[in-house]
């Protein structure tokens, strides 16, 4: 992909599936085989290595390679470990105000980067900064829920949209391309006038309908099936050796 670019625009968004599937396959093995201390060392090491990989493969390679994006993925892993460790969790709760200040600093910085046009694909610094912003927001929502954060994480509309967000992500590009080709005749979707703007809105509506249908007839079945399994601890006492 690094040599041939994204390929067909219909499938361009699926590059992230490779990163996610590799993450889903590798992470459980690490959690299974390593104790908590070693797991933290591995996570921190891979988080530190990710920006270096983005420097080495600046551009598309820094954007699509799994280990170039491991800092954002594994920061969430560190948060999961911290949440389960009472001392670390208490420390973060005591310093929640500092985390809030850091979040607004990162938020201001992210806005500045976007307005100045510095958000280049695979940029070593920008991806680290945005990952820090999202991680801080997630940490604050988990450790110190409030009316303000609940507006975002408990709002029924946002929950509905979040459940269907990946279908929207997968469907939006082919549907947008088809809609623009059919209505405006443009191969590449964009808008420079009101007609093209409304065509884009139409494609968004069609995308949401397809995402809802996917949830009703396809994804919902697998989600329900997955919830039928539960984690259980084996309380059977170990056999006592007679030797």
Mean pLDDT confidence for 120-139: 88
Rounded-to-integer distance, Cα 94 and Cα 140, Å? 12
Assign 168 a pLDDT band (cuts: 50, 70, 90).
very high
Report helix, strand or coil for 32: helix
Using CA atoms, how far residue 6 sits from 21, 22, 170, 188, 238, in Å, is 18, 19, 15, 15, 54
> What's the pLDDT at 42?
94
Buried b or exposed e, range 227-243, using 16+ CB within 10 angstroms: eeeeeeeeeeeeeeeee
Between 190 and 93, name the one with better pLDDT. 93
Assign 234 a pLDDT band (cuts: 50, 70, 90).
low
Q: Which residue has the tokens 């940029």?
A: 123
Nearest to 67 by CA among 76, 77, 57, 80: 57
pTM of the predicted structure, to 2 decimals? 0.76
Report helix, strand or coil for 120: coil
> What's the pLDDT at 189?
72
Mean pLDDT confidence for 98-122: 88
Q: Which residue has the tokens 């997630």?
A: 138
Mean pLDDT confidence for 126-130: 89
Between 10 and 95, name the one with better pLDDT. 95
Q: Is the pLDDT of residue 7 over 90?
A: no
**Neighbouring residues of 123: CB distance < 8 A, sequence distance ≥ 6:** 54, 58, 62
The burial class, CB within 10 Å (0-12 / 13-18 / 19+), for 226 is exposed
Rounded-to-integer distance, Cα 140 and Cα 145, Å? 7
Taking only the tens place, the pLDDT of each residue in 60-92 is 888 889 999 999 899 989 999 998 888 999 999
Between 199 and 7, name the one with better pLDDT. 199
**Neighbouring residues of 62: CB distance < 8 A, sequence distance ≥ 6:** 53, 54, 55, 56, 68, 121, 122, 123, 124, 127
Task: Evaluate whether 211 touches 167 at the Cβ level (below 8 Å).
Answer: yes
Nearest to 149 by CA among 85, 92, 103: 103
Residue 25: CB atoms within 10 Å: 9
């Amino acid at each position: 992909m690094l040599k041939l670019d994204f390929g067909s625009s219909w499938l361009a968004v699926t590059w992230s599936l490779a990163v996610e599937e590799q993450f889903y396959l590798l992470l459980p093995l690490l959690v299974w085989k390593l104790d908590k201390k070693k797991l933290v060392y591995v996570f921190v090491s891979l988080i530190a290595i990710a920006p270096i990989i983005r420097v080495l493969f600046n551009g598309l390679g820094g954007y699509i390679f799994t280990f170039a994006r491991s800092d954002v993925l594994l920061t969430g892993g560190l948060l999961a470990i911290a949440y389960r460790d009472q001392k670390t969790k208490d420390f973060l709760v005591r310093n929640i105000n500092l985390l809030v200040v850091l979040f607004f600093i990162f938020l201001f910085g992210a806005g500045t980067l976007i307005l100045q046009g510095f958000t280049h694909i695979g940029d070593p610094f920008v991806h680290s900064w945005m990952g820090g912003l999202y991680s801080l927001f997630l940490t604050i929502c988990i450790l110190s829920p409030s009316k303000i954060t609940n507006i975002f994480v408990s709002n029924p509309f946002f929950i509905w949209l979040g459940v269907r967000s990946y279908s929207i992500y997968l469907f939006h590009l082919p549907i947008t391309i088809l809609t623009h080709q059919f209505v405006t005749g443009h191969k590449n979707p964009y808008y420079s006038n009101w007609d093209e703007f409304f065509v884009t809105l139409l494609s968004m509506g069609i995308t949401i309908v397809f995402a809802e249908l996917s949830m009703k007839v396809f994804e919902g079945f697998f989600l329900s099936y997955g919830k039928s399994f539960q984690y259980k601890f084996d309380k059977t006492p170990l056999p006592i050796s007679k030797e």
